[in-house]
Amino acid sequence: MIQGTGKVINRPTKTGGKSYDKFFIYIPTNVAKDSAFPFKPGEEVVVRIDKKRLVIEKLKE
């Protein structure tokens, strides 16, 4: 199992004169390029909070 240290980043943006928060989760390159990594760039995912965990899953079509 590959693991690394990621980071949660907030990049506020302005649209129509209003400011909105935009959050990103940085995933280290060695984790994202591992053959077991289940996502591709640009792929939509489902994000949910389960108790005290953040769960990211593939979007089922």
What pLDDT was estimated at residue 61? 76
User: Dihedral angle at the C-alpha atoms of 50, 53, 56, 59, nearest 10 degrees?
Assistant: 0
Cα separation, 42 vs 13, in Å, equals 20
Domain ranges of the chain: 7-58
pTM as predicted? 0.75
13 close to 20: Cβ distance less than 8 angstroms: yes
Is residue 51 pLDDT above 90, yes or no?
yes
Q: pLDDT digits over 1-43, tens only? A: 889 999 999 999 999 999 999 999 999 999 999 999 999 999 9
Q: Give the Cα separation of 47 and 23 in Å (integer).
A: 12
